Structure 1
Amino acid sequence: MERQTDVLVLGGAGVDSIVHVPELPLPYADSYPVPRIETRAGQTGDFVALGLHALGLRTHHLDLLGDDHEGELVRRLHRDRGLALTTFPLPGGTRRAVNLVGPDGRRLSLYDASRTEAADRLPVEAVRALAAASRHVHVSITQPCAEALPELGGSGVTVSTDLHDWDGSDSYHQPFADAADLVFVSTAKLADPERTMRRIVERGRARAVVATAGAEGSYLLVDGELTHTPAVAPPDPVVDSNGAGDAFAAGFLFGWLAGESPQRCARYGAITGAHACTVPATGVDPLGRAELLARAARLG
């Protein structure tokens, strides 16, 4: 059956307020003068979807959004980029976060966890229809997406997810890890990354697990073999690490869906992730297909 969409991205839509601070961690003080505080659309699902779209993949984003100013910012971002977006009401309001960005580009995200309630659901009919029209589904680790996982299991499409800074034991993340064919996770909180990666494979259906380690590159577990992919030097000064992991996932998925080797996919991810670090926190400028392939060719 011909699929109309390459990747359906579930969840992860929201808005961030960007605050540039003099250092991280930020010492206690009564107040700090900071440069202009800006609010822009874009959280993990938005960044993955926009990254895939920029790489030429037919992408559709599905999520719950509030009927508020922040929700309109998300809708406008998708309209301006020509990216398909289907939304349903989020009674608690659009998800938002405050990101503190240090001079070296490191980020501390303060995520507003009050926006989602236990009763929030992505409509089953919409998930079923859009998944049936897609080659692949990438799932954000938000509560409504957790409720949609059983529906994806019977859809016949491959599934990926990003566990972000999972500690390897928090039970909330486990259903996502178990349900995905391709799992991304950061090494930030993992005491033993290899052990966690192997446990993901043993417990679930994952055919590949990718652990990103920032400037140290990434680790790839496929067919029982663990390999390392070095980081790629950013082409311009690093100004913000926000969205780098999402960009890595988009680059990896681009190669994955094109039938490239897992090692080549990891190289693509390293390139797109490095590019994201050169984009100011207040902007959204994912790497395009032509430039990705050109940079990959130069690296060999």
Structure 2
Amino acid sequence: MVVGGAGVDTVVRVPEAGWERETVPVEPIEVYVGHTGHGVTLGCDLLGLRAGLVDVLGDDDEGRRVRRLYDELQLPLNVVLHPSGTRRSVNLVTPDGQRMSYYDGRHPSGLRVHPDLWRPSLAHARHVHVSIMDFARHALPDVLATGCSISTDLHDWDGRNDYHRDFATAADIVFVSASALPDDAVSWIFGHGRAQLVVVLAGADGSYLHLPGEPPQHVPAVHLPDRPVVDTNGAGDAYVAAFLARWLDGVTWYDAAHAGAIAGAWACGSPGAHTNLITAEELAARSEKLG
């Protein structure tokens, strides 16, 4: 079960230079259902888990686009409609696949919704991934009460922003980007929360597994020669989905992280955030090939 984090991405493939001009021709601008919660939900579904999403959307074209896709995919979706609308972002992608995301979260700070949004689904959940949407922090006490394992992705947390701390301290598995993370952030998570594992995602440098009281373990990034990098949007979500799917299958932390590295590399080989995520069959084949 995933709590929060679906929206719509507008992806613009931009040249390396061009800001000095008023008009720059670009490849066709595409719009996709995306964002972190959707990526984890769809990724887990393709990897063999029965996955579903609960979220707050708008009664707008973007929200209807999300709901229509979930109907087409036959993925469980429970939503509350809010007048602030559906989250969206504009992602600028360079020729080498790097991206800058301009995120419009829309929802007002402190948004609360009735807990019936998530409580019915919790009765059937084995694992809950809580996205860092403000409303989702209010689901944490209910999730903790079930005894389910919990994960979250803090994304580019700087180790100081209080917004992320409820999520960091409630999760058993914490994913976080290395991009802004200070040296003391991982020890803070272990010291103040219940985390069994902190996974620091470092892009092309791979990822690092942190266990309490142990030195970090490096998991190298994976290179797939037949899928060159065209778009890094959604790579982290693909990593999280594959990690969770394999960990819930009972493999070791390292093997789960290796699966995440494969899934992240696979996602980078297609345009758009979640247009071609890896399947269970392809992940198994790639894992066997890469060892």
- What TM-score, normalized to structure 1? 0.92
Conserved in 1, the CA contact under 8 Å of 2:235 and 2:273? no
Which residue number corresponds to residue 219 of structure 1? Answer: 208
Which residue number corresponds to residue 198 of structure 2? Answer: 209
Which residue number corresponds to residue 230 of structure 1? Answer: 220
Distance 1:20 1:293 in 2: 32
Amino acid at match of 1:18: V
Which residue number corresponds to residue 22 of structure 1? Answer: 15
Which residue number corresponds to residue 293 of structure 1? Answer: 284
Q: Deviations over 1:26-76 (max 9, x none)?
A: 634433222222211111111110000000101011001111110111112
Q: Which moved more, 1:258-267 or 1:230-239?
A: 230-239
Conserved in 1, the CA contact under 8 Å of 2:34 and 2:273? no
Percent of residue pairs bearing the same amino acid type? 49
Q: Which residue of 240, 257, 261 corresponds with 2:252? A: 261
Q: Deviations over 1:58-103 (max 9, x none)?
A: 1011001111110111112222222111111121011101000110
Within a 5 Å distance, the mapping from 1:90-109 to structure 2 comes to 90-109=82-101
- Secondary structure of 1:50's counterpart equals helix
Q: Offset of 1:122 from its aligned partner?
A: 3.8
Conserved in 1, the CA contact under 8 Å of 2:58 and 2:81? yes
Conserved in 2, the CA contact under 8 Å of 1:98 and 1:110? yes
Within a 5 Å distance, the mapping from 1:70-219 to structure 2 comes to 70-113=62-105, 115-192=106-183, 195-219=184-208
Q: Which consecutive aligned stretches of 4+ in structure 1 deviate over 4 angstroms post-superposition?
A: none
Gaps of 5+ in 2: none
Conserved in 1, the CA contact under 8 Å of 2:97 and 2:229? yes
- Secondary structure of 2:53's counterpart equals strand
RMSD: 1.5
Gaps of 5+ in 1: 1-7
Q: Which moved more, 1:205-214 or 1:222-231?
A: 222-231
- Secondary structure of 1:150's counterpart equals helix
Q: Say how many residue pairs are matched.
A: 289
Conserved in 1, the CA contact under 8 Å of 2:52 and 2:76? yes
Amino acid at match of 1:19: V
Distance 1:203 1:298 in 2: 40
Pair 33,47 (structure 1): closer, same or farther in 2 beyond 3 Å: same
- What TM-score, normalized to structure 2? 0.95
